[in-house]
Amino acid sequence: MTARLTGRTALVTGAGSGIGRAIADRFVAEGARVVYADRDGSAAAAAAGSALPLTMDISDEASVEAGYAALAAQGASPDVVVANAGVQLFGHDAKVADVSLETWNRTLAVNLTGTFLTVKHAVRAMLAGGGGSIIVTGSPTGLTGEGADFAAYSSTKGGVHALVRATAMAYARDGIRANTVVPGYTETSLVSTISGDPESRAAIVSRTPLGRPGTPEDVTGIMVYLASDESSYATGAVFRVDGGMTSL
């Protein structure tokens, strides 16, 4: 494997498990110095191995600021930030008329405000460091009606896509690129409620033209591309790795 990210420092949120861990592991394999950031510090440490674990609650600005400060204290500035952490509150999120304010606020606090805080402080660090690549994990639910039964989650992902566009346009001349990657149905612990129900799983797979669920590793190739100089002319874009789901 060619080490396309040698010499780069990358911070990945939600890196304790699932898609985030797969991205962080792939970045390590590609030669990057990787910070595994996660709200669960034990999970971050277990995933990071000899890399750098970081306890970070993205819904808390003080925690986010402290995370970037810890990186700076080691003499490192992030060249790549992957804002991947998020929640989907199965059993609570629902159609818009049925969502409680508590569920709405909790989902927004992590998925939209948390992504905003991650991106905000990434931009500040990259302005000081001379630029970089910000990659945000989106969702088909932010693009289509796929998530009608998850009003809070879908709304946050729509907001995330708008945030990326605004960031890309505001900082393009500063050498900062921002793009969104949209995985499809990917079997991780986040969606265990679906994957553990054969009927629900089959229904989603039936709406995926490639005919199978995604794996966390399916997402890592496009992440490496966006983290590398190969994507130097790409910003403000949405890259879909969803098995064709949003093409229907």
Rounded Cα gap, residues 1 and 106, in angstroms: 40
H-helix or E-strand spanning residue 207: none
Rounded Cα gap, residues 53 and 20, in angstroms: 13
**Which distant-in-sequence residues (6+ apart) come within 8 Å of 3 by Cβ?**
29, 30, 31
3-state secondary structure labels for all residues of 36-80: EEECCHHHHHHHHCCCEEEECCCCCHHHHHHHHHHHHHCCCCCCE
Give the residue numbers marked as catalytic.
Answer: 153
Q: Is 136 left (phi over 0), alpha (psi -120 to 50) or beta?
A: beta
Residue with tokens 């080490």: 3
Rounded Cα gap, residues 238 and 27, in angstroms: 20
Q: Which two tokens stand for residue 1?
A: 């494997």
